[in-house]
Amino acid sequence: MNITKSKLRAKQSITVLTGAGISAESGVPTFRGSDGLWKNFRPEQLATLEAFQANPHLVWEWYDWRRKLIKPIKPNPAHYALVELEAQTEQFTLITQNIDGLHDKAGSQNVLEIHGNIWKVQCTKCQYLSHNSEVPIQILPTCEQCGGLLRPKVVWFGEVLPEKELETAKFAATHCDLMFIIGTSGLVQPAASLGVAGKQAGAYVVEINIEQTPLSNIADETHIGKASDVLTNLLS
């Protein structure tokens, strides 16, 4: 039995941080580089408030394209392993940088989507927040409450993360016994700092990734491999 398995057996409080790597196993594109190129536009050109204000139709066309790609994708064994882990743990928080909603689809309960969710929309006029899974979505979509223009409820370049979710994530990272960091590059702030904060607060940090990352230097254990394989092994 390795150290991680012994700590899992102890049913201590657990916080998990997931990134694009866990969704990549399901086939979700990264939407960076060649994956993100759409009609000669790059994500950095479209995922901004300025782009939305200048041409909301264009930005919504891009998000509609992304939603069409993500809609048929299913959670993979790593997502379901985290659902199982949550069911076995008294204090469990799942923090994700992903906006695809796959953790919700798998059945995870206590999920903090710090970068938002592509299946949620928010009114730019009255701020009403709602779910919308329409594919294709009406362009331009309008608020059912006041008729205002809707925007994707995601964090765009140049925007700050939602304060409530970020503070809750920081608390979870610094008040857990065991912390998993799964499929994240360790480069995107402020999410990358959560692992460091957890380590400094005394958590036992376990990294799972297909390659070494900057977070490998602070992790107590680093498991190189697919999240589905590593988590299935740890929970067996």
Q: Are 216 and 207 in contact (CB under 8 A)?
A: yes
Strand partners, 182: 18, 208
Quote the tokens at residue 21: 């790597």
Scan for tokens 């999240």, then name that residue: 227
From residue 224, give the alpha-carbon distance in Å to each of 54, 187, 205. Answer: 43, 18, 14
Catalytic residue list: 115
Q: Under a CB-based contact definition with an 8 Å cutoff, are residues 194 and 169 in contact?
A: yes
3-state helix, strand, coil in the chain (%, to 5): 40, 20, 40
What is the chain's length? Answer: 236
